[in-house]
Amino acid sequence: MKFWDRLGAIDRRIIYTVIGLAVIIPLVTKLTFPIRVSDTVRSAYHSIERLPAGSIVMISIDYDAASGPELQPMLIAVLRHCFKKDIKVILTGQWALGLPLGEIALNQVAAEYNKKYGVDYINIGYRPGYTALIVGIGRELRDFFSTDYKRVPIDSFAFMRRVHNYNDINLLVGLEAGATGDAWVLYAGARFGLKMFFGATGVSAPDLYPYLQAKQIEGILAGLQGAAEYETLVNEKGTGTLGMPTQSVVHGLIIIFIILGNLSYFVLRKKQK
Amino acid sequence: MRHQIPLIVVFITGVLLIVTFFIPHEPFGGLEQRFLIWYSIVAGFTMLLGLDSLTRYHLVKVRNQKSGWGYSIVLLLGLFLTLVLGFYSWAKYQSPFALGSPFMFLYTYVIIPLQATMFALLAFFIASAAYRAFRARTTEATLLLVAAVLIMLGRVPLGGWLWHRIVDLVDLIPGTHLAGLKNLEIFARINDWIMDIPQTAAKRGIFIGATLGGIVMSIRIILGIERSYISGS
């Protein structure tokens, strides 16, 4: 009897310690698992892959550092894919505290591919009131972003002179930790026909599936697994792939804890009867 | 008058924005764009309002030495330091987000670790909560539990690894040749099915309900029936 009681009441400090070890050990031992690429990620990948060189992709940083571990690897993988294909990138962000993460990733990946600011990519920064500016860019980008994040007029950059609204942008990549993705679909997608795909945190991704099924978006990168899958397709391993063994082991442990808890529950219930 | 003027402003703005959505031609199109720019400006000022409210609340807390006033000092110091570094970086580097600026130093070495730590703690709490609360007490709870376990397996490479081991084990039985089934990736497929069909159906139902609620609430606000947004109503 005592065994089953104990099994159903494991001290939380033991659980925390086991989870802590499950996070650290796979990272230290560099455990690896093969990554299976899902259709939703493959379809997102192809929406960039089929764009010709010189196309323009807008990336929106709609997350902050709390969701960085899941979404930053996606940003880096998408930037690598764009720069590999000589696609020009416009970076913006609807979360003020996320924009520095975009700047960090842009500088890192641009250096890897020898891309130049203002020629191959630009960071137009953040403006408050995202629903208004998502609708407003459909008419004229300059009404909201007349300068880049360093207050340099965007018309001083050659490739930006031809960008006025969504007709001049080939694809939007939204990296979402909240509900901003809904606004992109409802206003930029449904009203102005902008093509887009999203990378989202594991908890936000389920909200986006109805849009995917209705073909309003091209694909979804869901959670760290989505980042790892995109890294696999781009053939550049990053922190997404590195984190998957840890996530796998922790998921396995949580399942074991759930089974133990239920075993104890059923045995004790049977004995009480 | 204090209540009637906001109601009139809301009514005119609401009706105009509906009209401009369906008639994007001039003069309505230009009018809509103007409204959107105003909205963006007003949204900017709401941040100042938030800053003012936050500062006042914590200053009062410190002055009256209410419980936890020490944390308020930390908050005010953090706020002040971030503002100073932000303005300094803006002045010297044209943007607080410029790499190498003092603001980016603060962001990289304080804000990122703090936010990441707060979020990372969830893994520990979720593990503990799942162990304690996830019991198959009813049919609904059992369904939820089974779906959660299958999703947890299907979402990570562990599911694929486990499936391969299951096929290998079954293959040990003499006369069975199931190696071809390895590519089936059963857990990943179950995950895809749950996400695509029952999950999406439920989400769509919630979305439609919430949107209908949003439309009803918007009409009530435009027509002045719903007045709770006006202070004192």
| A21 and A139 assigned to the same domain | no
Confidence of residue B100 (pLDDT cuts 50, 70, 90): confident
Best of B158, B184, B199 to disrupt the A interface (most A CBs within 10 Å) is: B158
**A52 min Cα distance to partner chain B (Å):** 31
Residue pLDDT, tens place only, B24-38:
788 887 888 888 889
Contacts of B29 in chain A (CB under 8 A): 139
| A228 and A252 assigned to the same domain | no
What mean pLDDT is predicted for residues B30-53? 89
Domain count, chain A: 2
> pTM of the entire structure?
0.90
Best of B31, B36, B110 to disrupt the A interface (most A CBs within 10 Å) is: B36
Strand order in the sheet with A56-62: A121-125, A88-93, A56-62, A171-176, A196-200, A220-222
| A25 and A117 assigned to the same domain | no
Neighbours of A180 (CB within 10 A): 22
Q: Does A5 touch chain B (CB under 8 A)?
A: no
Model pLDDT, residue A1: 60
Say what the alpha-carbon torsion angle A246, A251, A254, A259 is, to the nearest 10 degrees: -140
Position B90 pLDDT exceeds 60: yes
Domain that holds residue A222: 39-237
Q: Do A19 and B124 touch (CB under 8 A)?
A: yes
Cβ-contact A269, A16 below 8 angstroms = no
Residues 234-263 of A with CB under 8 A from B: 244-245, 247-255, 257-258, 260-262
Q: Do B131 and A260 touch (CB under 8 A)?
A: yes
| A166 and A184 assigned to the same domain | yes
Domain ranges of chain B: 1-66, 68-133
Position B177 pLDDT exceeds 60: yes
Model pLDDT, residue A268: 86
Model pLDDT, residue B233: 54
| A137 and A260 assigned to the same domain | no
Q: Is residue A70 in some structural domain?
A: yes
Which CATH number belongs to the domain containing residue A116 in this structure? Answer: 3.40.50
* Between B153 and B173, residue with greater pLDDT: B153
At residue A172, what are phi and psi to the nearest 5 degrees? -110, 135
Model pLDDT, residue B232: 60
Which residue shows structure tokens 């972003």? Answer: A145
| A231 and A259 assigned to the same domain | no
Distance CA B71, CA B67 (A): 9
Q: Is residue A242 in some structural domain?
A: no
What mean pLDDT is predicted for residues B57-80? 93
Q: Does B185 touch chain A (CB under 8 A)?
A: yes
The encoded tokens of residue B56 equal 């006042």
Distance CA A165, CA B31 (A): 17
Model pLDDT, residue B184: 78
B27: preceding bond cis by omega (within 30 degrees): yes
Average pLDDT of chain B, as a whole number: 89
Q: Does A118 touch chain B (CB under 8 A)?
A: no
Model pLDDT, residue A200: 95
CA B81 to chain centre: 27
Model pLDDT, residue B98: 85
From its phi and psi, is residue A118 left (phi > 0), alpha (psi between -120 and 50) or beta?
left
Q: Does B116 touch chain A (CB under 8 A)?
A: yes
Q: Do A223 and B155 touch (CB under 8 A)?
A: yes
Distance CA B101, CA B103 (A): 5
Nearest-CB residue to B127 (from A15, A132, A245): A15
**B142 min Cα distance to partner chain A (Å):** 10
Query: Which helix (DSSP H) or strand (DSSP E) does residue A82 occupy?
Result: helix A68-84
For residue A193, give the amino acid letter.
Answer: G
Position B1 pLDDT exceeds 80: no
Q: Do A245 and B157 touch (CB under 8 A)?
A: yes
Residues 46-75 of A with CB under 8 A from B: 64-69
Cβ-contact A67, A35 below 8 angstroms = no
Position B168 pLDDT exceeds 90: no
At residue A202, what are phi and psi to the nearest 5 degrees? -55, -35
Contacts of B203 in chain A (CB under 8 A): 206-207, 209-210
**B22 min Cα distance to partner chain A (Å):** 11
Position B66 pLDDT exceeds 80: yes
Nearest-CB residue to A248 (from B33, B158, B196): B158
Model pLDDT, residue A5: 83
Residue pLDDT, tens place only, A94-143:
998 899 999 999 999 999 999 999 999 999 999 988 988 999 999 899 99
**A272 min Cα distance to partner chain B (Å):** 15
For residue B16, give the amino acid letter.
Answer: L
Model pLDDT, residue B27: 83
Residue pLDDT, tens place only, B12-27:
999 988 888 888 788 8
Q: Does B179 touch chain A (CB under 8 A)?
A: no
Nearest-CB residue to B131 (from A15, A136, A250): A15
**B16 min Cα distance to partner chain A (Å):** 15
Q: Does B36 touch chain A (CB under 8 A)?
A: yes
What mean pLDDT is predicted for residues B103-112? 92
At residue A241, what are phi and psi to the nearest 5 degrees? -65, -40
| A115 and A202 assigned to the same domain | yes
Low-confidence ranges of chain A (pLDDT < 50): none
Contacts of A223 in chain B (CB under 8 A): 155
